């Protein structure tokens, strides 16, 4: 029997005490004041902090359980979507059952917004909200840990090493299975960390972790059977513009030129805030179909099944093609973009100018990394298409 107390979200009976502690946490009030009123906070940090703290006490006075917390969060998320996105669409929910728990394995571009948007779509279509996996590297500030755990987030222990790492992986595997077996859907990323280069690829280590708990059961089952028990549904989230593209490019450039990148202790918090308040353009959330895994499947083959759906259903935007046009002008006939995207030629020209303006605000040394970040989804989709076509050709030849 596993003990999940050190990784699980807060329970309803714990909410009131946690909220009371948050309201007394000046670090939390300062961060929120800076987020809500950046211009005023710059000149009047003390008064703005106290003002926000008083407003919070009033706003959260009625909060007594997790549902109450999520109603408050939904209000903020509504505003964020309205002010930072030009549109939010979804596909695939019609194929899922609101009464069925799923393990949603998602591509990962934004720390907070990825699971928030999946949660938002599910909630507004009659599904229960998710349990969300979040790395302990993001929870260095106590108020962040409390906020995440109030919003049904459970902790992935990424900072542990050696034997502790294996124990943590077994505990995580068992917790995810526990959630699914008790009727609670779960969101996890397909890899550790965001895909800063725009290449969405599932790590086989994630699949192996998911099997660990089933291997300790009295009746051992195959990897395929263990995966089928979890009701895995791949998810592809595509943002027209990535608010963190500049910071991601800085990291990629540093690693490419010096071999390493030293992250500032506030970098993760800054990434969360930038991802939330930065302009995103059009956003699409594509929920795939429940995958069925064969008994003899390997972890790599399961990862490939997930990748095929994530890459295949990823919604490409004009900026993806236009970034590729600058990198590889011979990749395709880019004059066909208006017809391909079903938009006017003037709309494509406007997006081309928008990309140019975005690049002008960055050091020229970062341009190749930003362009690849946006172009790679097109290249990856093309690779998957060619592989699928080759497989179909092989099948056709074998049948002759």
Give pLDDT tens digits for 346-357: 999 999 999 999
Interval 129-147 mean pLDDT: 90
pLDDT at 34 over 60: yes
Interval 14-34 mean pLDDT: 92
Q: What is the predicted pLDDT for the residue at 364?
A: 97
Cβ count within 10 A of residue 14: 14
Domains of the chain: 64-299 (3.40.1130), 316-400 (no CATH)
Q: What is the predicted pLDDT for the residue at 126?
A: 94
Confidence of residue 17 (pLDDT cuts 50, 70, 90): very high
Q: pTM value?
A: 0.93
The b-or-e profile of 270-279 (16+ CB within 10 A means b, else e) is ebbbbbbebe
pLDDT at 395 over 70: no
Q: What is the predicted pLDDT for the residue at 219?
A: 67
- Helix (H), strand (E) at residue 66: helix 66-84
pLDDT at 389 over 70: no
Q: What is the predicted pLDDT for the residue at 217?
A: 65
Question: Which has the closest alpha carbon to 385: 316, 295, 289, 296?
Answer: 316
């Amino acid at each position: 029997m596993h003990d999940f107390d050190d990784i699980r979200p807060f329970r309803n009976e714990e909410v009131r005490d946690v909220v009371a502690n948050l309201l007394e946490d000046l670090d939390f009030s300062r961060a929120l004041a800076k987020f809500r009123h950046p211009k005023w906070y710059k000149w009047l940090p003390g008064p703005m902090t106290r003002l926000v703290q008083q407003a919070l006490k009033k706003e959260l006075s009625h909060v007594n359980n997790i549902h109450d917390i999520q109603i408050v969060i939904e209000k903020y998320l509504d505003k964020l979507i309205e002010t930072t996105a030009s549109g939010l669409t979804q596909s695939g929910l019609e194929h899922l059952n609101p009464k069925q728990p799923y393990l949603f394995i998602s591509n990962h571009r934004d720390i907070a917004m990825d699971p928030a948007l999946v949660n938002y779509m599910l909630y507004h279509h009659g599904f229960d909200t998710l349990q969300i996996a979040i790395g302990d590297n993001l929870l260095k500030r106590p108020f962040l840990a409390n906020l995440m755990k109030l919003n049904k987030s459970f902790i992935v222990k990424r900072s542990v090493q050696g034997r502790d790492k294996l124990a943590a992986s077994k505990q995580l595997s068992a917790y995810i299975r526990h959630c699914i077996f008790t009727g609670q859907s779960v969101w996890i990323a397909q890899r550790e960390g965001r895909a800063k280069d725009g290449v969405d690829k599932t790590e086989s280590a994630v699949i192996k972790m998911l099997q660990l708990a089933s291997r300790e059961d009295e009746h051992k089952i195959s990897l395929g059977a263990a995966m089928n028990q979890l009701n895995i549904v791949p998810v592809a989230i595509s943002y027209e513009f990535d608010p963190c593209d500049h910071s991601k490019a800085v990291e990629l450039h540093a690693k490419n030129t010096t071999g390493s990148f030293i992250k500032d202790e506030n970098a993760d918090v800054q990434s969360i805030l930038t991802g939330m308040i930065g302009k995103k353009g059009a956003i699409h959330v594509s929920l795939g179909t429940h995958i069925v895994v064969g008994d003899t499947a390997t972890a790599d083959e399961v990862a490939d099944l997930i990748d095929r759906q994530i890459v295949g259903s990823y919604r490409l935007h004009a900026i993806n093609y236009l970034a590729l046009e600058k990198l590889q002008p011979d990749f395709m006939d880019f004059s066909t973009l208006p017809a391909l995207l079903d938009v006017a030629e003037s709309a494509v020209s406007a997006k081309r100018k928008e990309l140019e303006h975005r690049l002008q605000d960055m050091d020229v040394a970062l341009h190749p990394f930003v362009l690849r970040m946006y172009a790679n989804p097109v290249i990856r989709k093309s690779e998957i298409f060619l592989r699928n076509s080759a497989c179909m050709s092989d099948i056709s030849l074998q049948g002759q």
